[in-house]
C-alpha cells in the first residue's frame, strides 16, 4: 500500500489552502528577515502536502543518490510534486526521521500526536517539518487507527508573497537556531 495520497496540482492546493485559511486568525509566529509575523494554522489533508526538494537535509543525499546521473536533480525539481519524486523524498526523509541522533519516528510512534505545526508555503510545500511529515505518513500507513490524528497534520501557512530567498532564510534560521533548553543534571 502506498504511503501517498494522490497529490493535487499546485494551483488546486493553493486554492484549497487559501479557502481553509479564510477567516482563521493568525496565531503562530515565524521570523522573517524584517522581523516576526503571525501566520494562520490549520489542519490540512495529506494530499495538500508536498515534500520540498530543496530541503537542506536532503540536498546532500540527493546529490549522492544521483552522482552518476548528471541533470537528474534538475529534472526532479521540475517534477517535485509527482508521485515518483515524492516517494523518493519520502524514503530519504524517513531514513533521517529514524536516525537515533534525532529520533523523530520513534517519538511520534511513542506520543501518537503532533506537538508542533509543520511550516508550509501557500501551495502546501513543506518548508520545515519534512522529516516529521514522513514519519507521520509512515505511521499512518502502518496503523491508520492508532495514528489517525496524522491524517490532517497541523500546519502554519506562510503568506503567498513570501519569496524563495525568504523561505531559505527561514529554513536555515530554524535549523541553526540555538537550543534554549538547559540540560538536566543528575539530581534533577
pLDDT tens series, the chain, 188 aa = 456 667 888 999 999 999 999 999 999 999 888 889 999 999 999 999 999 998 877 888 888 888 888 788 888 889 998 999 999 999 999 999 999 888 899 999 999 999 999 999 999 999 999 999 999 999 999 999 999 999 999 999 999 998 877 877 787 776 655 444 445 555 55
Here the cell at position 103 is 529520533
pLDDT, position 57 = 78
**Rounded CA gap, 15 and 152, in Å?**
17
Q: What is the DSSP letter of 91?
A: H
Residues in Cβ contact with 166 at an 8 Å cutoff, skipping those fewer than 6 apart: 32, 33
Q: Give φ, ψ of 179 to 5 degrees.
A: -70, 130
**Rounded CA gap, 47 and 2, in Å?**
13
pLDDT, position 172 = 72
Q: What is the DSSP letter of 163?
A: -
Burial class (CB in 10 A: 0-12, 13-18, 19+), 174: middle
DSSP secondary structure of 23-82 = TPPP-EEEEETTEEEEEEEEE--GGG-B--TT-HHHHHHHHHHTTTSTTHHHHHHHTTTS
pTM: 0.87
Amino acid at each position: 500500500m502506498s504511503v501517498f495520497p494522490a497529490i493535487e496540482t499546485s494551483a488546486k492546493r493553493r486554492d484549497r489552502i487559501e479557502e481553509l485559511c479564510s477567516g482563521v486568525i493568525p496565531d503562530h509566529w515565524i521570523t522573517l528577515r524584517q522581523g516576526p509575523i503571525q501566520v494562520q494554522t490549520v489542519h490540512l489533508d495529506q494530499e495538500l502536502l508536498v515534500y520540498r526538494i530543496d530541503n537542506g537535509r536532503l540536498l546532500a543525499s540527493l546529490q549522492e543518490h544521483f552522482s552518476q546521473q548528471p541533470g537528474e536533480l534538475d529534472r526532479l525539481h521540475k517534477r517535485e510534486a509527482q508521485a515518483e519524486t515524492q516517494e523518493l523524498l519520502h524514503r530519504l526523509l524517513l531514513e533521517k526521521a529514524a536516525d537515533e541522533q534525532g529520533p523523530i519516528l520513534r517519538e511520534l510512534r511513542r506520543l501518537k500526536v503532533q506537538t508542533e505545526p509543520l511550516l508550509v508555503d501557500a501551495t502546501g510545500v513543506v518548508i520545515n517539518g519534512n522529516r516529521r511529515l514522513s514519519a507521520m505518513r509512515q505511521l499512518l500507513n502502518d496503523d491508520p487507527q492508532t495514528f489517525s490524528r496524522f491524517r490532517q497534520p497541523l500546519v502554519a501557512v506562510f503568506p503567498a508573497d513570501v519569496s524563495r530567498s525568504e523561505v531559505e532564510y527561514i529554513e536555515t534560521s530554524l535549523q541553526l537556531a540555538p537550543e534554549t533548553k538547559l540540560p538536566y543534571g543528575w539530581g534533577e
